[in-house]
Amino acid sequence: MQIQPKFLPSGAAATPHPKPSFKPEDGLDTVIGQLQDQWQHRMQGQQRCTVGIFVEKGYKPAEAHDDVLDLADAVMDAGGMPRLLYQGQNGQSAEQQVSQVDAVLVPGGRDWDPAKYGEKLGPHMDPAEPDTAWDNFEIAGMRYAVGRDMPLFGQCRGEQGLNVALGGTLYQDLPSDRPGPVNHRPAHVHESFANRIDPAHGLEIKPDTRLYNLVGGQVEVNSIHHQAIKDVAPALEVIARAPDGLAEAVQVKDHPWQWAVQFHPESLRYSDGRFQTIYQQLVDDGERFRNHQPLK
């Protein structure tokens, strides 16, 4: 008899993933294979849908509070099975990999190549930061998901990438390109995963939107970024802003199941269970998509 997995009650606070341990010689395929085996064992075949999560080449988690592990936990706590999507996996393109999942989750990460939105690298950008091949992979995956009307949720780099993928632009460096009263990258938060539960500012959330319905109208969020949406893509609408007016959440117009936020709810869910409902919603959407039911 299979053991029924214990999914988190709606709105429950999370517990950290066990600290990972890999050998120095373990490559990406080995690392991801081991993680997927662990997740298969945890879920016991009871997953409601499969959620694809993009990971960069060279990914090897070393800490319990790793971005991708936190996201995988959030998905599993909601009843979904994470599947990691990466360049070179079985020789498959981003589109081929996305076609094999029911929903897409786009994590945070490195800066976007400004050439993707028609600009040159600015003076406050690290030339070693952008990875054009990785940008192309994620953009292709996001465009494919949007085109198929799949559930999609992005965060931090994921919000910026959805905007770029659909024709928008970015501030390359907020402190220099858009000085303002809000510090969007507090040093103590940037330096430690443990500090990512610390709120940085409130949000002005548009009523009757998915974010408003999930977390309410009054909420404090973390902030770990120096890039952000500048010109909003024509296909997107802003559904939340920081106190300085910066776009903090967007959705594809008339498709609220395709959306993104600038903050990191996967960290906030450790202290405020409202943020876990974001991932529960994603898994709900993925289950509907998997079963060919209408999304709403």
Q: What's the residue count for the chain? A: 296
Q: Are 60 and 26 in contact (CB under 8 A)?
A: yes
HSE on the CB side for 125, CA within 13 Å?
21
Terminal Cα distance for the chain, rounded? 36
156 in active site: yes
Rounded-to-integer distance, Cα 244 and Cα 7, Å? 37
8-state DSSP, 67: H
225 in active site: no
Backbone phi, psi, residue 17, to 5°: -70, 145
264 in active site: yes
Catalytic-role residue among 156, 184, 225, 237: 156
Amino acid letter at 42? R
Angle 98-288-1 from CA coordinates, rounded to 5°: 90
Max CA separation in the chain (angstroms): 60
**Which residues, including other chains, have CB under 8 Å from residue 17's CB and lie 6 or more apart?**
64, 65, 66, 69, 70, 72, 73
Kind and range of the H or E run holding 241 = strand 236-241
What single string gives the DSSP state of each residue in 131-179?
-HHHHHHHHHHHHHHHHTT--EEEETHHHHHHHHHTT--EES-HHHHS-
Catalytic-role residue among 138, 248, 266, 287: 266
Which residues belong to the active site? 156, 264, 266
